[in-house]
Amino acid sequence: MEPIQVSTLNSTENKRRYWELDFLRGLCVLLMVFDHCIYTSGILMPNIGEGLGVDMWSGLADWTRDVYWFGSLRVTVRIMTLFCFFLLCGISCTLSRSNFKRGALCFLLGCALTFFTVLAQNIFGIEVAIYFGVLHMLGIAILLYGCFDALGSLISKIGKTAKEKAITKAIGEYLAPTIGLIMFIVYFACFFDKFQGDNLIFVTNVYIEDKSMSALASLFLNVRLNENAARPIEWTIGGADYWPLLPWAMVVLMGGFIGRGIYHTKAANYLSRLDGKWNKPICFVGRHALIIYVLHQVVVFGLFYLITLIAA
């Protein structure tokens, strides 16, 4: 059976799709949208409402901060959702013929989101600026997968005998996820200090006080100002939605193990018998995940802001 091409966040070029990938991706996106709705209504809007003389969000703000935002349920569900979503991105990288194109598109959309969030921060005075968010990270991760996969294709052509060709082919196909796994292990063995569950931050033991060096280093991992600082220092590229390449991009690369090990074998068709109308709404979200992810943040904020203006 011809491999089905599935893009990382969404695709319109596929002849067929694996419904379970769309379904899981759709669930992840819906959970993200819900989380952003709570963040907007319970954290952003109380401050904006106060400036407009509206107190309608104060009750929700108390519940958000005291119950939901730092609750163990949210922390657990969020980290499971993110790992699932990033692994799905890696699976999709093994099924796409355009990782460089999609990676560049994803990164450029992240840059556009940076522009609009910085603009919103300056206009409304709220800390929502995104300098290196999930779209930036995913874009670079996809580009890295494309580079490693291209190198793997060259490696797979090495070898003269059938045995040598089989070995180099396996090395080439699993080069990207193997690099991801090695770097994931190195990160936690050498740089990881503790996990700050309430903000989903993998705190490192890296301390860099030089401004320019810390900004560059924070592309790759969470940099701390000093031994007591638990978050990236103020003048790094962190921002409201900060996703360094380590460890998150490595999770994307490791998704290649599942993509190569399952979706390039006969096992890929195992769940096809469960496909049906029951999953279509969520699969629709999964097929258009990139568009929904980018637009929903503008729509959600605009809707809550409009409600606040009406109530003012």
**Matching residue, tokens 């599942």:** 258
| pLDDT for residue 51 | 76
Predicted confidence band at 254 (pLDDT cuts at 50, 70, 90)? very high
Q: What is the pLDDT of residues 294-308, one digit of tens each?
A: 888 889 988 988 988
Predicted confidence band at 261 (pLDDT cuts at 50, 70, 90)? very high
Beta bridge partners, 130, equal 239
Q: Give the global pTM.
A: 0.87
- E strands present in the chain: 192-196, 201-204
**Matching residue, tokens 């603009």:** 119
Q: What letter would DSSP give residue 17?
A: -
Beta bridge partners, 203, equal 194
Closest CA to 95 of 130, 136, 146, 61: 146
Cβ contacts of 229-234, under 8 Å, gap ≥ 24? 230/196, 230/201, 230/203, 231/196, 231/199, 231/201
| pLDDT for residue 2 | 35
| pLDDT for residue 235 | 47
104-to-166, 172, 304 alpha-carbon distances in Å? 32, 23, 32
Residue 286 tokens read as 């999964």
Cβ contacts of 115-118, under 8 Å, gap ≥ 24? 116/298, 117/239, 117/240
Q: What is the pLDDT of residues 221-243, one digit of tens each?
A: 888 776 666 555 544 565 668 89
Closest CA to 240 of 142, 73, 85, 116: 116
Mean pLDDT, rounded, for 103-111: 95
Sequential DSSP letters for 113-126: HHHHHHHHHHHH--
| pLDDT for residue 80 | 94
CA distance 48 to 297: 16
- Give percent of the chain with pLDDT exceeding 90: 48
CA distance 37 to 8: 24
N-to-C CA span, the chain:
60
The number of angstroms, rounded, from the C-alpha of 230 to the middle of its chain's C-alpha atoms is: 21
Mean pLDDT, rounded, for 8-21: 61
Closest CA to 140 of 184, 86, 188: 86
Residue 133 dihedral angles phi and psi, to the nearest 5° = -95, -165
Per DSSP, the three-state class of 10 is strand
Mean pLDDT computed over every residue of the chain: 86
| pLDDT for residue 198 | 67
What does R_g of the chain's alpha carbons equal in angstroms?
Answer: 21
Closest CA to 140 of 248, 297, 289, 235: 248
Q: What is the pLDDT of residues 274-295, one digit of tens each?
A: 999 999 999 999 999 999 988 8
Q: What letter would DSSP give residue 57?
A: T
pLDDT greater at residue 114 or residue 224:
114
Q: What is the pLDDT of residues 147-174, one digit of tens each?
A: 999 999 999 988 888 888 899 999 999 9
